[in-house]
Structure formats: structure tokens, C-alpha cells
Amino acid sequence: MSFIKVGVIGVGNMGSSHIQLLDKGQIEGATLTAICSRNESRIEWIKNHTEGDMQIFRDEETFFSESGIDAVLIATPHYSHPELAKKAFAKGIHVLIEKPAGVFTKSVLEMNEAAKASGKVFSIMYNQRANPLYQKLRDLIHSGELGEMKRTNWIVTDTYRSQSYYDSSKWRATWKGEGGGVILNQALHQLDIWQWTTGYMPKRIHAMSSVGKYHDIEVEDDATVYVEYENGATGVFIASTGEVPGTNRFEIIGDRGKIVVENEELTFYQLTQSEREFNKTYKGGFGKPEWRKIDILVKSENANHASIIQNWIDSISKGSPLLAPGEDGIKALEISNAIYLSSWSNEMVELPVDPDHYYEKLQEKISASTFEKKNVTNTTLDVKGTH
């Protein structure tokens, strides 16, 4: 069996974690042959924390041209994902990008085009899609068991961050460096799972976000989002990095019941008949359709980055279908871009957002920024146990 030669670019919190997975041989059929970083202290860290024989590059052009890699895992700061992916595709290299796909859809659309033209395997680190809990939820909805969707509600506030997290690097939680806060970073997984499990993208969004509410940062650390879907259903999404202990509770109501995902458990309240039918025929005033409570036994696995990397490698070597196609990265980002636009304008925003318009508005935020980080510590954080 031949090994896929994998390179990693970016050795921050996530990159370091992926490098260790690959270096320890935890990804079958892959071998880590090259790493690229401009940061000498991270290069030092690699030398002390890996055992494999790998080339080290300090310059991305040389990395892509001379490393001889088949596939690259891109784990640099958000803004650079589309540019680096396009460079990789141009060299005929398969790509797995960390989330988010980018910061604005304009560049992500270009990346998706480049991916398509290259014919290479393109995936995104939406590792929550590998969680059996959300796979089961998706099955229940897509099979029609829940019936026509009426409402969604996701409170995802269990992503607490202290000021020291934001102070760990200069680019974090700035418009210029990261391009967003809790919505673009911590809650992006859930924005993807929200649309992926239900099969519905919002059509209109009205969002309220609070900038630096709990932290000394220039982006939002708290947001409340209202959405409307094409079929008339509505939804709410709440994200915050300022609450302890947070909540992670996803509720979806359909014509044939309700599903609640909370505390890593999935509960299905299944009606014995359609509510819409009951409503038409029942004559007794205060009655309700009958239901039963079903505890769906499924194990939650939160932090399985390895599954996504393995799936990507398997797709390259065996043609396995991708769990998280890279092109899907734009969906959560479109929701995210609409949330920001609505928050900035205090108006309802229709999806999809115009890519040029969003790009311009984001540039205005960057240009207008006067924010200075006071205590940057330049620390790489251990992501073990985070999602």
C-alpha cells in the first residue's frame, strides 16, 4: 500500500494537534513529510515534539513547489485559507482546510472554483459532522420521521473563553486578523451542523451581536440570531463565550414531533399522527396529539478531528465519499456573513449575501479599527478537549 504524502501549513493551536496525530501514525495510509511555518519557536516545538522525518519550510511558495507532497492540511489563520488552497490546487495538491473556509464568501467562491477545476479532493475540518449524534439527528430529519420542519433553536454557549485565550495571539478576535468572533470561530461548527442536519439554509436573518461584551476584544463575543426558512419555519441561534457553565441544546420541531439534543443525548418526542392533521379534525378544544418519548441511544464523539483527516485520506486513496466536502464550507460562512451584516446594519438580511457587498463592509470595519491589544502573550494553546 502506498502512503499519501501529507504536508501541514500553520503550526498554531489546531495545526500542532494535527501534526501530532499524523506524526504518531494515527491516520492510516498517510505520512507526514513536510511542514511549513514562519514562526521559529513553533519550528523548534516541532523538532522537539515529532519523531518522523519531515522537511521544514519557512516559505509557502517553496513548500508548495518543492516538498513533493500529495496533500496539504491548511491550519493557518482564517483569512489565508482560500489563498493557500488555491495555490495548492494550482500545483495539483489535495486540500483539507481548517474551518472557517475563509472570512468572506467572495474569496471562498474563488477557492471552490479552483477546487472544481483541479479535480483534487477538497475537504474542510467540520469535525462535528463525524459525531454519530449529529449523523443520527440528520438521518431522523432527512428520512422524514420528524415531518415538515416548524422551528429550530440552538443555544450554544458552552464555548467559554477567558481574556487569556484572546490574548494568546495578536490576530485573534480582531477584524483584520480573524475577521470575526464567536460566530466565525467557536460557533461555526454549529452553524454548519444546523444547516447540515436540517437540510435548510436560512432565507432571512436578523441578528444582534455584542462587541467585546465580556472581553477586551474588537469583535463579538455574544450573539442572538433569528432566522426564517423558505418553508415558513423560524429559528433562533444563540452563541456566547462569556457564560459558565454554558448550554449546548439544539431543539428541532417538526409536524411529527420534536428532537432535543442536549448533554450529548438525543431525545425524540414522536407524535402518533401529524399535528397538522390533528388540528384539522380534532373537536375537543384543549386536546393534543399523542406522543411517545424515545431516547435514541447513540454515542457522542465531539473532538474527532482524526475522523475527518482519515476520511479525506480515504477519499484520496480509495475514492470514499467525503463527510465534509470543502465546497460545503461556504454554507456556514454565508450564515456567518449574514449575521454580521445584519448586526452592523440592524436590519433583516436576505441570503445569500452579496459577496462584494460583504467584502466592502468588512474592509470598512478593518479600516475603521483603532483597537490595540494590550497584553499579547504569543502562546500556543492545547486544544485537547475543545471542539
Nearer to a second copy, 262 or 356 (CB): 262
For the record, the C-alpha cell of 373 comes out as: 491589544
Q: Is 151 in the site for a second copy (CB under 8 A)?
A: yes
Which stretch in 27-35, 45-53, 88-96, 155-163 sits in contact with a second copy by CB under 8 A?
A: 155-163
CB of 265 vs a second copy, minimal distance in Å: 14
Residue located via cell numbers 436576505: 350
C-alpha cell at 77: 489563520
Of 264-283, binders to a second copy (CB under 8 A) are 269, 271, 275, 278-280, 282-283
Is 128 near a second copy (CB under 8 A)? no
Given candidates 119, 132, 199, 232, which one binds a second copy under the rule CB under 8 A? 232
Pairing of strands 248-254, 234-240: unpaired
Q: Which three cell numbers stand for residue 80?
A: 489565508
Contact residue for a second copy among 65, 163, 363, 378 (CB under 8 A) = 163
Q: Which is nearer to a second copy, 151 or 176 (CB)?
A: 151
Is residue 124 within the footprint of a second copy (CB under 8 A)?
no
The answer to whether residue 386 forms part of the interface with a second copy (CB under 8 A) is yes
Residue with cell 478531528: 305
Site for a second copy, rule CB under 8 A: 150-151, 153, 155, 157, 160-165, 168, 206, 208, 210, 213-215, 222, 224, 226, 228, 232, 234, 236, 238, 240, 242-245, 247, 251, 253, 257-258, 260, 269, 271, 275, 278-280, 282-289, 291, 346, 348, 379, 381-383, 385-386
